[in-house]
């Protein structure tokens, strides 16, 4: 396939103009649509802008190559525009862009067109070629320049050069998330820089059409240094014991000469194997992008535990008999206890998995065990060591033993930090392991084998356990005590205000310490013969998952496919008073989801109080509605709170394009 086969005359403008980067992209999309290759303009445009958020496609030298691969593309295509006066495109070199190619790639298994698009990206780096395109008088001349250059250009399957009398032997690996343009441009730039510095080089490219020019074990052994320019995961454990430079793919394009000279200097750290199959995390995207990527790793692995465990607990309530023992509802009958025990086992792993896989995303496999332990402390608090206090409560300790007994083992109050604590534990664990890697980097190479199986877990688990016990959980315990005191003080004030506070607390951290403080307050109220508080508490915990399920039903474009797949389970968990169904949504987008759920639950709690609803059971959701005082208005309050959550999510969350 030739490049001109992807270009349509209707999609070329040699006399374009644009006032801004956004304006330029909008005009490029219009040009692309003119060829009839786009089925959904808005979906394609969103994908193009989403790619720009990952990093500018303005590669420098006055050139930009925005691109997107999605289902909205019917056929592979190119659009081109020459902007004589240039436009600010946030290019890597800060210079205006005057030549733009927009790439449209269909989301299919047939990727033959990607090689063609990659070849064009490399051709653009030839200054003579790009200048001829800028000066083309009409579309015909523009197409002829491309066709002539295509005839002479090499393919993209074998980047590399053997230099006689080379000063240095290099290997490079290039990869970008889309795998269309930047992968090959970085390969070309590194090859040119290596030759210019009298170095031999072989470049492995990992684009959308797969890995090409893959380096062999013998080539790795012979290399003096390896350059990995990638914004996506590539297998790097094969480089263990070699000097490795890891940078963003954009650096491979704009800083190729600098990277080659750094490799030649020998001032490069030796890479240490982690045992992970895909060890190199994406290096680009900035702090916010990295945070989101690590967070999504934890949330995606946690989701099956939430859904599977939550539905099993819901079945336990369905099969149980509330009248036998209201306080033990869910485990009164053997079959109910069977389902609830299994469901609770899955739920018990939810927060450790969240923390573990956040740490795994940051530090690879060595972070997994450390993150899991941090998540266990977040889920169970310092109560995991309560046996010490129970077994030796009559003994008196002094010195450090006394300090431990009084501050940790004998601590009173709820020290569970919940899913917020698990988030903190996951990130802290990941960076603790990264710190340990740096600290042990200078140990003899003979000890590399014991680092991931002994040193990292030993010191990492000790550190995260200490931090959770001494800092995070005790701090949360203080917060919980303060919340309980505040709620007690509000007991004699307006019921509506108390309902607002209790409802919002149930929806802020969904099973965490704030939620638990409100729940404990409600159960204490039942013991004292006050049943309206528990009603407000339960409805505040039911509204978040139901509101989210409504939002994923009626505002699908605000959620990913994975999030939409949990719609039914969230309806079920919400009706069963399992607030944790909302955790994956809150964890992945806390700034938008938590305010929406808190407001909806606050309204539901206030209405429950105003309508005079009561509840004598501490749990059960819809299965205990027969014992709810004024249950018709209780349903109204729940519906209103859930709908408010739905509309707030629709308002706060932006439409997304997967």
Q: What does DSSP assign to residue 84?
A: E
CB of 641 closer than 8 Å to CB of 582:
no
**What is the per-residue pLDDT across 72-107, written as a single tens digit (0 to 9) for each?**
888 888 899 999 889 998 887 788 999 999 988 887
CB of 409 closer than 8 Å to CB of 382:
yes
CA 538 – CA 577 distance, rounded (Å):
7
> In the predicted model, what is the mean pLDDT of residues 162-169?
87
CB of 337 closer than 8 Å to CB of 397:
no
Q: Residue 526: phi, psi to the nearest 5?
A: -60, -45
CA 295 – CA 349 distance, rounded (Å):
17
Domain ranges of the chain: 3-152, 159-265, 286-479, 491-658
Widest CA span of the chain, in angstroms? Answer: 94
Coarse DSSP helix, strand, coil percentages of the chain, rounded to the nearest 5 percent: 60, 10, 25
CA 80 – CA 99 distance, rounded (Å):
8
- Tell me the Ramachandran region of residue 189: left when phi exceeds 0, alpha when psi lies from -120 to 50, beta otherwise: alpha
pLDDT confidence of 272, banded at 50, 70, 90? confident
CA 585 – CA 592 distance, rounded (Å):
9
pLDDT confidence of 497, banded at 50, 70, 90? confident
446 Cβ contact list (under 8 Å, min separation 6): none
**What is the per-residue pLDDT across 113-153, written as a single tens digit (0 to 9) for each?**
556 656 676 777 778 888 899 999 999 999 999 888 876 65
pLDDT confidence of 403, banded at 50, 70, 90? low
Q: Average pLDDT of the chain?
A: 81
Nearest to 359 by CA among 455, 268, 424, 277: 424
Tokens of 290: 């990295």
Tokens of 570: 């969230």
Nearest to 53 by CA among 80, 77, 22, 84: 22
What is the model's pLDDT at position 628? 84
The residue count of the chain comes to 658
pLDDT confidence of 209, banded at 50, 70, 90? low
Tokens of 339: 């389902």
Residue 481 has pLDDT above 80, yes or no: no
More confident residue, 617 or 196: 196
pTM assigned to the model: 0.49
Domain 159-265 of CATH type 1.10.3130.10: no
What is the model's pLDDT at position 210? 67
Residue 550 has pLDDT above 90, yes or no: yes
Tokens of 309: 């465990």
pLDDT confidence of 177, banded at 50, 70, 90? low
What is the model's pLDDT at position 383? 54
288 Cβ contact list (under 8 Å, min separation 6): none
CA 192 – CA 154 distance, rounded (Å):
14
| Cα 116 versus chain centre, distance | 32
User: Tokens 């070629």 appear where?
Assistant: 129
What is the model's pLDDT at position 634? 93
Residue 463 has pLDDT above 90, yes or no: yes
- Measured from the Cβ of residue 50, the count of other Cβ atoms closer than 10 Å reads 14
Where in the sequence numbering do the catalytic residues fall?
67, 176
Fold of 3-152: Mannitol-specific EII; Chain A (3.40.930)
CB of 330 closer than 8 Å to CB of 344:
no
């Amino acid at each position: 396939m030739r490049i001109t086969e992807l270009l349509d005359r209707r999609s070329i403008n040699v006399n374009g103009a644009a006032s801004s980067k956004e304006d330029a992209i909008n005009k490029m999309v219009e040009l692309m649509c003119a060829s009839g290759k786009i089925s959904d303009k808005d979906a394609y445009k969103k994908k193009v802008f989403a790619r720009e958020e990952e990093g500018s496609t303005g590669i420098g030298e006055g050139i930009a190559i925005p691109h997107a691969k999605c289902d909205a593309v019917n056929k592979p295509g190119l659009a081109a525009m020459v902007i004589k006066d240039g436009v600010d495109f946030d290019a890597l070199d800060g210079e205006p862009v005057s030549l733009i190619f927009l790439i449209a790639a269909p989301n299919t298994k047939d990727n033959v067109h990607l090689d063609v698009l990659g070849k064009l990206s490399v051709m653009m780096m030839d200054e003579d070629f790009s200048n001829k395109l800028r000066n083309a008088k009409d579309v015909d001349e523009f197409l002829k320049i491309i066709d002539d250059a295509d005839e002479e250009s090499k393919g993209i399957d074998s980047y590399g050069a053997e230099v006689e009398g080379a000063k240095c032997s290099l290997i490079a690996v290039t990869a970008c998330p889309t795998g269309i343009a930047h992968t090959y441009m970085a390969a070309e730039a590194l090859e040119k820089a290596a030759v210019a510095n009298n170095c031999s080089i072989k470049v492995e490219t990992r684009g959308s059409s797969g890995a090409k020019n893959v380096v062999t074990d013998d080539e790795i052994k012979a290399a003096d240094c390896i350059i990995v320019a990638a914004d996506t995961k590539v297998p790097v454990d094969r480089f263990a014991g070699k000097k490795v430079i890891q940078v963003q793919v954009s650096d491979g394009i704009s800083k190729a000469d600098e990277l080659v000279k750094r490799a030649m200097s020998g001032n490069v750290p030796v890479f240490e194997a982690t045992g992970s199959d895909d060890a190199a995390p994406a290096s680009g995207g900035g702090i916010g992008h990295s945070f989101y990527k690590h967070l999504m790793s934890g949330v995606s692995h946690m989701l099956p535990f939430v859904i599977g465990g939550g539905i099993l607990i819901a079945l336990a309530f369905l099969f149980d008999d509330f009248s036998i023992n209201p306080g033990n509802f869910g485990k009164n009958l053997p079959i109910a206890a069977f389902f609830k025990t299994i469901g609770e086992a899955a739920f018990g792993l939810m927060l450790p998995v969240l923390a573990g896989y956040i740490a795994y995303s940051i530090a690879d496999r060595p972070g997994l065990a450390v993150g899991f332990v941090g998540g266990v402390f977040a889920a169970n608090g310092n109560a995991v060591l309560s046996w010490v206090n129970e077994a030796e409560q009559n003994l008196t300790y002094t010195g450090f033993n006394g300090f431990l007994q009084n501050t940790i083992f004998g601590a009173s109050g709820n020290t569970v930090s919940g899913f917020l604590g698990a988030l903190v534990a996951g990130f802290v664990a990941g960076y603790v392991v990264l710190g340990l890697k740096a600290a042990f980097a200078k140990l003899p190479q003979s000890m590399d084998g014991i680092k991931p199986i002994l040193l990292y877990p030993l010191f990492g688990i000790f550190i995260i356990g200490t931090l959770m016990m001494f800092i995070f959980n005790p701090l949360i315990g203080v917060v919980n005590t303060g919340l309980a005191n505040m709620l007690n003080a509000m007991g004699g004030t307006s019921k509506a205000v108390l309902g607002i506070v209790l409802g919002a607390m149930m929806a802020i951290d969904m099973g965490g310490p704030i939620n638990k403080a409100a729940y404990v307050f409600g159960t204490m109220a039942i013991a004292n013969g006050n049943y309206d508080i528990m009603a407000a508490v339960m409805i505040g915990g039911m509204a978040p998952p139901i509101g989210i399920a409504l939002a994923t039903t009626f505002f699908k474009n605000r959620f990913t496919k994975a999030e939409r797949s949990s719609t039914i389970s969230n309806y079920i968990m919400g009706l069963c008073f399992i607030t944790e169904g909302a955790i994956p949504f809150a964890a992945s987008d806390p700034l938008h989801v938590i305010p929406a759920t808190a407001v909806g639950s606050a309204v539901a709690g206030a209405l429950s109080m105003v309508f005079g609803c009561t509840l004598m059971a501490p749990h059960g959701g819809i299965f205990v509605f027969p014992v709810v005082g004024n249950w018709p208005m209780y349903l109204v309050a729940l519906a209103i709170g859930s709908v408010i959550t739905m509309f707030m999510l629709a308002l706060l969350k932006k439409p997304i394009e997967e």
